[in-house]
Structure 1
Amino acid sequence: MHPTPDYAAPDDAETRKSIAPVICYPVETLPAPDLASYRAARAGWEKVAGLRVPPREALAFEVPAGHFFRITSVEGPQVGDLNLFSADLSERFYSGKTRALHGTHLSRGDRMWSGFPTLRPMATITEDTLDWYGIDAFGGSVHDVIGTRCDPYTHCLLSDGGQYHHCCHSNLTRALAAARNLSPREAEALVHDVLNVFMCTGFTRDTGQYFMKASPVRPGDFLEFFAEIDLLGVLSACPGGDCSSEHSSDTAACYPLGVEIYRPASAPEGWAPPAPNRYDRSHGL
C-alpha cells in the first residue's frame, strides 16, 4: 500500500519522476535459444509419459535432459504452480533471477534459471498457446514469476489461525516428499517460489498490490518446455481454479492439469546441456 504522503513534494518533483528508467540486467549478451532448432527436434518425437494432476493436488514427474514436456489444460480453466529441481535436488528454480532477466511473465524463448552457484538454464519455454494475450488494460499477463504460491502460513495469518492444507505450498511439499522419500519437513525446506502456469496477474497502478484475474486458458492450451538438464518437476493444480476469485478455496471450480513428456528422435542441432555458471566463487577473498 502507498500511504498518503506526510511530506510535501520538492519543487523539482516532476523532473525527478520524469527520469527515464534503465533496464537492470540487459540481456543482449545472453546466448539466445535457437527456437528453430528446438522446434525442428520435435519432428518424429515420441510421447514417453503422460499424467494428470488431480484438482487441488500435486504430482511429481521426471524429465531427462534433451526431452520436452508440456503442461496442458485438459477440462477447464485451471492454474498450475510449477517447481523445478535438478534430478538430484541440488539445484532449484530461481524465480527472482528469472524475473530480473526476462520480466514478470514468461513466454516462448524465455528460460527458467537455477539458483546460485550454478545459475544456468534449467528449461527453455519453446511454445505458448497463450502468447496472444500479451498485456491487458489492467497490466495483467499470464505465466507469472511474481507471485509466490498459496500457502498455509499466509492463510493462517489472514484468517486468524485457520488451518488449510490444500494450498499449493502444501501440495508441492506432499508430492515432493512422496517422490523422493523425504519427510514433510525435509521436503518443505526444498519447495520454492514457482512459475504460475496459466495464471493471469499484475500489479494495481494505484496501490501497487499484486492482483489476479480469471485465467484466459482454454482446454487444449499448453505451455511447452525443453529440459536443459535432468529435471524433477512438481506441479500443483491450484485450489483457486482459474484464480478469478480467491486462493485456497474448497468451493472454486477446479480441474486437472495434464503433463506430457516427449523424447525427440535426436537432440536439437548444436545443443548441449548448459555448464554451471563460470564465476570462480572466490567472493574477493
Structure 2
Amino acid sequence: MTAPHLVPEDAAERRAVKPVICYPVDALPGADLPLYRAAREGAQKIAETVVPPRDAATIEVPAGCFLRMSSVEGSQVGDLNLFNAADLSERFYSGKTRALHGTHVTTGNRLWSSFPTLRPMATIVEDTLEWYGKDEFGGSVHDVIGTRCDPYTGQVLKGVDYHHCCHSNLTRALAEARNLPLWEAEIHVHDVLNVFMCTGFTRDTGQYFMKASPVRPGDFLELFAEIDLLAVLSACPGGDCSAEHTSDTAACHPLLMEVFRPQAQALEGWSSPPVNAYDRSHGL
C-alpha cells in the first residue's frame, strides 16, 4: 500500500485556477428559431405512434418536419435514439452534444450527429419543462449524460437478466423497423437523450443521480428535423425514475410521438445542413 500523498503547499492556489470552456460556441451555426416557429404555425399532423409502457416504438420524421414527444397519461421519462433515416451509421452523438451545449438541453439547443458527418440532426424548438432550470441538488431535465438502462449493467450489479431495459427496448424496436436481426440492430443503438428525465451529479462523490421527473400529462419536447430522421423512443421501465430505472413494479405510462409537416412555402430557402467539411483525404 502506498503512503498517503501529501497536500502540496500551493493546493489552494491550484484549485483556484479559473476554468476555461473547452468548446466556445459563439461560432456554431445558429438555429433559426423564428423561422422554425413560424413554420410550425399551421403545420399538419402526418403521423403519430404511442410508445407503450416498458417498450419502445419508432417513427419517421422527414427533414423540415417537427417531432413532438408528449407525456399523455402520467409522469413518464423516455430514452431517445435518432438516426439518419437512410443511413443508420449517422446517429445522434450525445457526447459531442453535451460538450457543445452542456449536460442538459432545452429550447434552441441542437442534437448533433456522429463522426464523420457531425452536423445538426435536430433542433429543440419547444420545451414545456424549460422553467425547471437547475434545482438545489444540481438536477435538471432532458440530459445527455446518462447512457440508457441496459441488461448488461443489471447483470454486473445484480446478477439478473432483465429484458425491458431501454437498451433492449430500443434494440427490438430498431430491429423491427429496419428488418434487422437483433444482434445487428444492437450495434446501432447508442447513448440517448433522456427525455423528461431529471438528473445530475452529486457534489460530494460525483455520481450520476436521478429524481422524480417534473413531467406531467400535457408536457412535451418538440424537435425540428434538420435531416430525414428515424426516431426510436423507449418508455423507461422506471416510470418517472423517482426510485429506480429498471423495474417491473414502478408505475409506468405511455408516451406519444407525433410528426407535423409545415406548409410547403413555410421553409422557403431552408435546406438540410451539409455533412461536416473536414477533409479526411490528408489522413485522420
With structure 2 as the length reference, what TM-score do the two structures score? 0.97
- Is the partner of 1:182 in helix, strand or coil? coil
Q: Indicate yes or no: 2:51 matched with 1:30.
A: no
Q: Is the Cα–Cα contact under 8 Å of residues 89 and 188 in structure 2 kept in the other structure?
A: no
Equivalent position of 1:69 in the other structure = 67
Distance 1:191-1:218 versus aligned 2 partners, 3 A rule: same
d(CA) in 1 for partners of 2:67 and 2:80? 12
Q: Indicate yes or no: 2:84 matched with 1:109.
A: no
Equivalent position of 2:149 in the other structure = 150
- Is the partner of 1:22 in helix, strand or coil? coil
Deviations 1:200-257 (A, max 9, x none): 0000000000000000001000000000000001000000000000121000000000
d(CA) in 1 for partners of 2:125 and 2:9? 50
Equivalent position of 2:185 in the other structure = 187
Deviation at 1:282, TM superposition (A): 3.2
Equivalent position of 2:243 in the other structure = 245
- Is the partner of 2:141 in helix, strand or coil? strand
Deviation at 1:43, TM superposition (A): 1.7
d(CA) in 2 for partners of 1:225 and 1:247? 25
What is the correspondence of 1:89-238 to structure 2 with a 5 Å cutoff?
Answer: 89-159=88-158, 161-238=159-236
With structure 1 as the length reference, what TM-score do the two structures score? 0.96
The letter of the residue matching 1:215 is: S
Distance 1:283-1:17 versus aligned 2 partners, 3 A rule: farther
- Give the % identical residues: 73
Q: Is the Cα–Cα contact under 8 Å of residues 35 and 126 in structure 1 kept in the other structure?
A: yes
Please, which of 13, 21, 26 is the counterpart of residue 15 of structure 1? 13
Cα RMSD over matched residues?
1.1
Deviation at 1:32, TM superposition (A): 1.1
d(CA) in 2 for partners of 1:124 and 1:87? 16
- Between stretches 85-94 and 56-65, larger displacement belongs to 85-94
d(CA) in 2 for partners of 1:139 and 1:245? 17
- Between stretches 5-14 and 90-99, larger displacement belongs to 5-14
Deviation at 1:269, TM superposition (A): 4.9
Q: Is the Cα–Cα contact under 8 Å of residues 142 and 200 in structure 1 kept in the other structure?
A: yes
Deviation at 1:34, TM superposition (A): 1.1
- Is the partner of 1:189 in helix, strand or coil? helix
Q: Is the Cα–Cα contact under 8 Å of residues 42 and 262 in structure 2 kept in the other structure?
A: yes
Q: Is the Cα–Cα contact under 8 Å of residues 37 and 269 in structure 1 kept in the other structure?
A: no
d(CA) in 1 for partners of 2:162 and 2:155? 8
Distance 1:95-1:256 versus aligned 2 partners, 3 A rule: same
- Is the partner of 1:169 in helix, strand or coil? helix
Kindly indicate which of the two structures has a greater share of residues assigned to helix.
2
d(CA) in 2 for partners of 1:35 and 1:233? 21
Query: Any stretches of 5+ residues in structure 1 without a counterpart?
Result: none
Equivalent position of 1:280 in the other structure = 279
- Is the partner of 2:149 in helix, strand or coil? coil
Query: Any stretches of 5+ residues in structure 2 without a counterpart?
Result: none
d(CA) in 1 for partners of 2:126 and 2:71? 14
d(CA) in 1 for partners of 2:18 and 2:184? 46
The letter of the residue matching 1:214 is: A
The letter of the residue matching 1:258 is: L
Deviations 1:107-156 (A, max 9, x none): 00001100100000000000000000000000000000000000000000
Deviation at 1:7, TM superposition (A): 1.5
